[in-house]
Chain A
């Protein structure tokens, strides 16, 4: 296999999408295997937490383009080959079907569903084989997608990211992750994020509904209000008052453990809370992201699980630091796993809520992983997967269809196999992406607006980025670079309910949607669903 493949390898032009964990390993293995014309796209820059496995990068490269640094590093040990790097998003219009057509095979080392679907479509449109891959911890897989021969990446829907029912988050958390979502999406956003966003922070109770306006004012920090007092007021409101309110809903707690309201005076002695508010000699310097409640309270180990009192001190201190050191950002903050102070605040808030609901507390390290959706990653799995990608790519280049395999890298062997090859599946005949099969949409055409269909269905579910929507020969909507007078018409259409569009969309209508960049066309059969 090794020597018999050298000519197809030497002549091949390959596209790599992603220069991260799998990408670094893949670029190295491709170069060692004799590939001489490699193009690599990645929009990311290098971070410290990449360095444990993305071995082409060093501390001194932090902040630079992954694609470019990876290219330079591999050219050091293979100076004579061609590597072209693009510090860009693969979804940029420059990477169109014509761009993809120049390659013999495309190799994915991506970390998100959205980009994977996009590349799948471009490979189908350009008729270029795709080798797709992914890893989590010790698990990984490599799959081959060749138009008309094997299933495409989207022949079977992928599990959507987990979401939680609103009431579980707002009123009845039973797992730590529920407390994290509450702390991150509700409390953090309410205090530091966009004030205009809908927010379910306040417990809905029959008695409280009338006073909801007043309740909102509690979160406003007036200029002359003492920050320590403000912090305690917020604390007592969300962990004390709101829980009392929720408890008054007897029905909720019939079959559940009743939560325990927590007030700041119960967990922090007077002396401590005073100290908290007066700690102005902290070591925080000008750089916003380096401000830390942990360091100003002298706590070092992110692996420690803090007591309720420690969590309360961190919460109040983080709040104080936001309002004293990072005032300007308040109102525009979004939770970011690399923002130390934000992680501290969310960890503490989630833990206090967990304590109230009798859920075990967690360390900052663990909370950060949950809040940031951090994917577990080790170098060895990526190395194995990259090797398997190259083996599959060579089969594709030799057009050795019978040998194509999907391979799973397992943590626990299955019947003695640690690496398990499986024959690829046939294309799914009802796949709307590779088989031009229509999709069925059940929708209330008298209530739903065109905007809902475009945003929630065509973009979010069908994964199109610049769609055009037609009802028979009538254009209803088009995204992208279009004339101004049309923009006004389309914007008006977006706000109309389906049945009231210029060419009405009702039961039995067949909509045609098309994305010119992905060269994907799809028919949507509308079925009206009344309530």
Chain B
């Protein structure tokens, strides 16, 4: 991602005037050469796509082969609510049509297929990969492939349930610059993979760790054990989920109070995204991706949580290096 090279056109300077004043012309040039891939077009990803298309990335590729459902319509503003328009088209195609309209300078493409069907070479074509609506093992696999690519691919996962959201970030070996007072300083961060982060023993995590981290892992595990797709849980599963929580806490030597039943109840009972939370998470994710492309500003390392019920947006660092081992 070389920031130098050709200058911005007059059209770009006029359109992006206000944001160039925030992140500079060099960052804008890098953005316009970056290629982003998203998998799973729910409401939060729709928000994210809107944000980076407006920001002016080079290209955006969408994957979501599902057809339109009531739920998809209710949370995704990129899908026109007209059956004559949406019938027979996949969600990715519909979102692609809307997104192209947002910024004619950004190329938007659609790819088809299941996340597991794409190889290292495919992921290696992108600078940023964002995965949603997928099982834990599918995310892990996609993350491994991104890590094997010949150039660095920034990898993110994002999920929203009820009024809660989670972002995971893997920037591998990441160098960036940031402003400190009047000076620009160079920084370096090492990220664990998705797998390595999730293998950090719960007992090794700090005591005030976001409860959402544990709750999301319990539900993920439940869905995987039951062979469900991501988000396919309901009230009826609550007792099994609570049982699994007990087992996991015992196995990981974690006091059960770190994973409140009420929180699990919320996440199981309402798996639909809550649009204000999608806006918040989609906004934060958009900002993180812009930072990673431009190489400017402190990125999140490596989890972010937001819960509308307490209003906190928390960064958690879950990596071996952070557990004191």
Residues on A facing B (Cβ under 8 Å):
1-3, 25, 28-29, 31-33, 48-49, 51-53, 55, 58-59, 76-79, 137-138, 300-303, 365, 369, 374-384, 386-388, 390-391, 394, 403, 405, 407, 409, 411-413, 416-421
Contacts of A418 in B (CB 8 A): 284, 300, 304, 313-315
Partner of B18, one of A32, A53, A78, A387: A53
- CA separation between A191 and B244, bound complex, in Å? 78
- CA separation between A378 and B284, bound complex, in Å? 12
Task: Assess whether B19 is in contact with A53, with CB atoms less than 8 Å apart.
Answer: yes
Task: Assess whether A29 is in contact with B13, with CB atoms less than 8 Å apart.
Answer: no
- B310 interface hit (Cβ, 8 Å): yes
Partner of B275, one of A32, A79, A376, A405: A32
Contacts of A388 in B (CB 8 A): 276, 280, 311
Q: Which of B65-99 contact A (CB under 8 A)?
A: 74-75, 77-81
For the complex of A and B, 4 pairs with smallest distance between CB atoms:
A419-B313, A387-B279, A421-B311, A383-B283
Q: Known contacts being A2-B163, A407-B311, A418-B304, is A29 close to B276, with CB within 8 Å?
A: yes
Some 20 contacts from A to B, beta carbons below 8 A apart, are A1-B274, A1-B308, A28-B77, A32-B43, A48-B14, A52-B18, A52-B56, A300-B10, A301-B7, A377-B18, A378-B22, A380-B283, A381-B287, A386-B279, A390-B276, A403-B309, A416-B316, A417-B315, A419-B312, A420-B313
Instruction: Add 10 more A-B contacts to A3-B272, A51-B103, A420-B312 (CB < 8 A).
Output: A2-B163, A49-B18, A138-B287, A365-B25, A374-B18, A377-B18, A379-B50, A379-B286, A380-B287, A381-B287
A interface majority secondary structure: mixed
Q: Known contacts being A77-B79, A418-B313, is A29 close to B275, with CB within 8 Å?
A: yes
Task: Assess whether B283 is in contact with A417, with CB atoms less than 8 Å apart.
Answer: no
Task: Assess whether A378 is in contact with B79, with CB atoms less than 8 Å apart.
Answer: no
Chain A residue with Cβ nearest B50: A55
Task: Assess whether B276 is in contact with A378, with CB atoms less than 8 Å apart.
Answer: no
Q: Which of B139-169 contact A (CB under 8 A)?
A: 162-163
Task: Assess whether A369 is in contact with B43, with CB atoms less than 8 Å apart.
Answer: no
Contacts of A378 in B (CB 8 A): 18-19, 22-23, 55, 287
- A531 vs chain B, min Cβ distance (A): 43
Task: Assess whether B80 is in contact with A49, with CB atoms less than 8 Å apart.
Answer: no
Task: Assess whether B10 is in contact with A2, with CB atoms less than 8 Å apart.
Answer: no
Task: Assess whether B19 is in contact with A383, with CB atoms less than 8 Å apart.
Answer: no
Q: Which of A25, A369, A380, A417 has the most CB of B within 10 A?
A: A380
Chain A residue with Cβ nearest B277: A387
Q: Known contacts being A33-B275, A384-B284, is A49 close to B163, with CB within 8 Å?
A: no
- B218 interface hit (Cβ, 8 Å): no
Task: Assess whether A379 is in contact with B55, with CB atoms less than 8 Å apart.
Answer: yes
- CA separation between A283 and B255, bound complex, in Å? 76
- A508 vs chain B, min Cβ distance (A): 48
Q: Mark B252-267, 1 if CB is under 8 A from A, else 0.
A: 0000000000000010
- CA separation between A420 and B13, bound complex, in Å? 33
Contacts of B282 in A (CB 8 A): 383
- CA separation between A377 and B20, bound complex, in Å? 9
- B237 vs chain A, min Cβ distance (A): 17
Chain A residue with Cβ nearest B269: A3
Task: Assess whether B15 is in contact with A302, with CB atoms less than 8 Å apart.
Answer: no
Task: Assess whether A421 is in contact with B310, with CB atoms less than 8 Å apart.
Answer: yes
Partner of B77, one of A77, A301, A420: A77
Task: Assess whether A383 is in contact with B313, with CB atoms less than 8 Å apart.
Answer: no
Contacts of B16 in A (CB 8 A): 52
